[in-house]
């Protein structure tokens, strides 16, 4: 039976997109105003990391939104973090360069020991340290995290890690990296989720000493990399939480990731709709604005309807998360709806602009490429459908 969901009706106020956390939204908008489309296009052309933007977001305290005040953060709820990233994308900026810090940090916060929290969280909050890299996906196992081939073998001094990760974004621009590795073979544990451990790696201290990072050229500027571990020695205090329970530790982080990236997709949807409606009202063909044509109107109207549904699903998921209630299904639903909504809005915007949508000066093509990724990463929409089918509807596991 599904768990009962409880909500405070006084807080369950129906709002239009972009109406809660008004002060935070306005503050984010002021920061983003200094980083117009031209800034992002220049970074995109040379695949450069937006250091200036990340520094500005850090100085404003936005990337430390979820870190408790005792460790130098703001201690805000997940909904506030989602709002921050929504506004970043609605302004045409690229949230992916900084979003990982929010949800990766949660693993250390919830499952790290007191010494790890005191050592890392204040420096992450201040921007002295960047935690932007999350080593999970592997070339042969893909999204099947339980079948990781990266191994961490216990030694007298700590652990030795061997293996490979792929599509690890921002590893070259981070100080720390969270890594999942098997500490017990899958054949020796009762459940496939057992025997996986989480490690917090000091990238700079390990480079050239068993750690190698290679960039992957891709159609979007996410600074993707391959990461190789060749007898990398790490101290015992690199282990986060208990050995063998790492898969469970990242589940909450994955739920937060789903919600934050869903909010980003919602923000980008707003950007596409604003760009498309403005252009449709101004562009005159055959003596009238192209926005008067139903072929233009209907796809944009559909995307706007979907955006409102996405907004409410994100609010529902974050409300459950903040009350420590089961929220995996809602997080996945929000992420699925957001990815589909974003792609529809991107397509409608591209079609509205016609040939000009391919011109870099309009910035549509850059955001369009980013929108396509949302249906694949950080989680495939097909994987979400399989999860809902099996764990929410109770259908047999597919193979």
| Mean pLDDT along residues 105-117 | 94
pLDDT of residue 282: 97
CB 44 within 8 A of CB 105: no
**Count of residues making up the chain:** 399
Summarize pLDDT for 43-97 with one digit per residue, the tens: 999 999 999 999 999 999 999 999 999 999 999 999 999 999 999 999 999 999 8
| Distance of alpha carbon 163 from alpha carbon 173, whole angstroms | 21
| Mean pLDDT along residues 150-172 | 96
pLDDT of residue 11: 47
CA 242 to chain centre: 25
> Does the pLDDT value for residue 12 go beyond 60?
no
Residue with tokens 């690229």: 94
Residue whose C-alpha is closest to residue 210's, from 186, 181, 184 = 181
CB 226 within 8 A of CB 218: no
Sorted by where each starts, the structural domains of the chain and their CATH numbers stand as 22-130 (1.10.540.10), 133-245 (2.40.110.10), 248-392 (1.20.140.10)
| Distance of alpha carbon 143 from alpha carbon 2, whole angstroms | 26
Reported confidence tier of residue 9, pLDDT bands at 50, 70, 90: very low
pLDDT cut 70: percent of the chain above it: 96
> Does the pLDDT value for residue 2 go beyond 60?
no
In this structure, what DSSP letter does residue 70 have?
A: G
Summarize pLDDT for 345-370 with one digit per residue, the tens: 999 999 999 999 999 999 999 999 99
């Amino acid at each position: 039976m599904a768990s009962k969901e409880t909500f405070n009706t006084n807080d369950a106020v129906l709002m239009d997109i972009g109406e809660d956390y008004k002060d935070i939204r306005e503050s984010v908008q002021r920061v983003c105003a200094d980083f117009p489309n031209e800034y992002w296009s220049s970074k995109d052309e040379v695949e450069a990391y937006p250091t200036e933007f990340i520094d500005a977001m850090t100085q404003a305290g936005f990337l430390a939104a979820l870190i408790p005040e005792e460790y130098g953060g703001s201690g805000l709820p997940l909904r506030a973090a989602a709002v921050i990233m929504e506004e970043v994308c609605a302004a045409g900026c690229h949230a992916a360069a900084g979003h990982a810090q929010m949800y990766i940090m949660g693993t250390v916060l919830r499952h790290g020991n007191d010494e790890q929290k005191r050592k890392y969280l204040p420096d992450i909050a201040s921007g002295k340290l960047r935690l932007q890299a999350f080593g999970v996906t592997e070339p042969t196992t893909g999204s099947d995290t339980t079948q990781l081939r990266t191994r961490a073998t216990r030694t007298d001094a700590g652990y030795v890690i061997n293996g490979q990760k792929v599509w690890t974004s921002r590893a070259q621009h981070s100080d720390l990296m969270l890594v999942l590795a098997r500490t017990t073979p899958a054949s020796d544990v009762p459940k496939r989720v057992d025997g996986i451990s989480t490690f917090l790696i000091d990238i700079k201290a390990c480079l050239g000493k068993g750690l190698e990072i290679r960039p992957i050229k891709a159609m979007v500027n996410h600074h993707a990399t391959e990461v190789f571990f060749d007898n990398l020695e790490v101290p015992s205090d690199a282990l986060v939480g208990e050995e063998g329970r790492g898969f469970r530790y990242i589940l909450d982080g994955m739920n937060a990731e789903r919600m934050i990236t869903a909010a980003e997709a919602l923000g980008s949807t707003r950007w596409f709709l604003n760009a498309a409606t403005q252009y449709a009202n101004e562009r005159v063909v055959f003596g009238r604005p192209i926005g008067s044509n139903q072929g233009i109107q209907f796809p944009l109207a559909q995307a706007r309807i979907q955006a409102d549904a996405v907004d409410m699903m994100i609010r529902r998921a974050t409300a459950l998360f903040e009350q420590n209630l089961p929220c995996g299904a809602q997080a996945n639903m929000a992420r699925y709806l957001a990815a589909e909504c974003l792609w529809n809005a991107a397509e409608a915007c591209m079609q509205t602009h016609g040939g000009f949508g391919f011109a870099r000066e309009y910035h549509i093509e850059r955001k369009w490429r980013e929108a396509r990724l949302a249906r694949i990463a950080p989680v495939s929409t097909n994987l979400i459908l399989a999860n809902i089918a099996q764990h929410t509807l109770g259908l047999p596991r597919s193979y």
